[in-house]
Each structure stands twice: as structure tokens, then as C-alpha cells.
Amino acid sequence: MQNDDARLKELTQKAKDIRRHIVEMTARAGSGHPGGSLSSADLVTVLFFEVLRFKPNEPHWPDRDRFHLSKGHCCPLLYAVLAEAGFFPKEKLLTLRRLGSILQGHPDRRTPGVDVASGSLGQGLSVALGMSLAAKVDARGYRVYVLMGDGEIQEGNIWEAAMAASHYKCDNLCAILDFNGFQIDGKTCEVMNVEPVAEKWKAFGWHTIEINGHDMGEILSAYRLAQTIKAKPTIIIARTVKGKGVSFMENVCDFHGRAPNKDELEKARKELS
């Protein structure tokens, strides 16, 4: 790998391009979820462009590392990353949420690079656990990554999967928690506090790594460390800012599920140019 500093700079630029796609796609669609897409953009950019093994021309390559977007409403991010990675042409991004488009409002298997549909929160860790166990049964070396939201982990289903993953010593499984502090109705700590979050995952037998989810160096180190952990699953708890990268969207709950209008799009484009 080339010098880390230079590479981190490239990844920062890539994340900016991806953020621009997110605001452009949702603005064109007139709906969608920019806030949580922007907060996870750095985490998913580093994952796709530095860590995951995949072949865009062969989306079902059996040895590909798996990525499951459990917080499926953040699919503008996933689609932007898949397009940048070459799974389909970038022009398709502006068809988000259109009837008949390969890019639906929540992930669907019609999109190259999407293995499992998502959107109903709380299910993704169980999906990832199944993939992780399948790799072990089939003696394959792929790793499984799953992205969840801090609001999402209020779902009980998550904790059943958390318990099973450590019971079965799923060290090929890495969960990423985008802890942006907001969910659909407001602050997570006010709706249903999930803290102390690291202690909860530790108690469930997971290796936990806490990072700033916008520091590309910390993100990359966390993924590298996770690859070395044996006999237990790992969770990367990333503290992030909802709407990160667009000043007037940052920490504004309204942008959880509202697209930028024409003026807001222009402002956002300037900030991301």
C-alpha cells in the first residue's frame, strides 16, 4: 500500500465526492435520507476503497467480503459508493427512487452489489451473522461487515444476534455502529438511551473499538485491528455527526428524512466542491 498520508488524502477526497452524490441524488428524487448517509460516508468510503475485497464486474464472486447496510434508509450512501466502485454507471444515481430504477428507496437485490434487502431496522446483524456462519461452514475466508445506527440498536433482535455471534466466536464478523446521536424523532439519548454502549457490547462478548468516525486514519486503523481479533466478533463504535460535511445539515434532525431543496442543493454543492 502506498504511503498512508497520501492514501488518506485520496480517501478524504473520495468521501467528499460521495457526499456530493448523496445530496444531488436526494435533491433530484425530492426525498430520501441524507443525514445518516452523510454521517456514515467516511466509514463506508474507507471500507470500500481500502479494506473490502470485491469484483465490481462479478458482484456474486463467492469469495467477496460482504457488506450489509442494516440501516437501509441510508442507501443513497451505499448507491454512491457502489457507483464509484464501478458496480454500475454513475449516471444511474440520479434515478434514485424512480419507478423501475435499479436504485429503490431502500436497498433491494436488483442493485448490483446488494446481497440482501434492508430497511426494516434491527434485522441486519442477524443477516450478517448468517453470512459469517456460512463462511465458516463453507470454509471460505471472506469477512462480513454490517453498518447499524445508534437508534437501530434499540431493537431487541440486535441483541439476540449479538449474543449468538460471540457464542459462535464469529471473528470474521465486524459490526460498525454509526453513533451520530440522532434517530428519526430526535436525540437517541432522549428517545431511548443506549449508553453506556461500549460496555453493553463488551458484556455481550464483543471486542470493541471506539473511534472518531470522521478521522480517516482512526477508521483505517480500526478496520486493520478488527482483522486481527481472534475468537470473538468486533464492533467499531464510531462517534459521528449527523449530516456531516454540509454545515446547515449537521445535527439537524429534519434532514434525517428530508431532501435538500434547490437552494440548499446549491449551498451544499459549494461546500462539497
Ligand X SMILES: Cc1ncc(C[n+]2csc(CCOP(=O)(O)OP(=O)(O)O)c2C)c(N)n1
Q: Give contact residues for ligand X (rule: CB under 6 A).
A: 35-36, 39, 71, 73-74, 119-122, 149-152, 178, 180, 182-184, 242, 256
Q: Which is nearer to ligand X, 85 or 253 (CB)?
A: 253
Q: Do β-strands 173-179 and 234-239 pair in parallel, antiparallel, or remain unpaired?
A: parallel
Smallest gap from residue 171 Cβ to ligand X (A): 25
Q: Which is nearer to ligand X, 185 or 199 (CB)?
A: 185
CA separation for the pair 246, 201 (Å, rounded):
31
Smallest gap from residue 163 Cβ to ligand X (A): 20
Cell 445506527 -> residue = 149
Distances from the Cα of 105 to the Cα of 101, 146, 158, 226, 244, angstroms: 10, 19, 23, 31, 21
Distances from the Cα of 59 to the Cα of 44, 119, 125, 132, 241, angstroms: 18, 21, 21, 18, 31
Smallest gap from residue 252 Cβ to ligand X (A): 12
Smallest gap from residue 184 Cβ to ligand X (A): 4
Q: Which is nearer to ligand X, 157 or 221 (CB)?
A: 157
Smallest gap from residue 206 Cβ to ligand X (A): 18
Distances from the Cα of 218 to the Cα of 46, 151, 191, 203, 261, angstroms: 10, 23, 29, 24, 34
DSSP one-letter code for 109: T
Q: How remote is the C-alpha of 204 from its chain's centroid?
A: 22
CA separation for the pair 50, 72 (Å, rounded):
22
The total of other beta-carbon atoms located within 10 Å of residue 261's CB is 10
Smallest gap from residue 135 Cβ to ligand X (A): 26
Maximum pairwise Cα distance, the chain? 53
Q: Which is nearer to ligand X, 74 or 175 (CB)?
A: 74
Q: Which is nearer to ligand X, 85 or 191 (CB)?
A: 191
Smallest gap from residue 195 Cβ to ligand X (A): 13
Q: Which is nearer to ligand X, 221 or 251 (CB)?
A: 251
Q: Which is nearer to ligand X, 127 or 135 (CB)?
A: 127
**Which three cell numbers, joined as nine digits, stand for 76?**
443513497
Question: Quick one: angle between helices 75-84 and 4-29, nearest 10?
Answer: 120
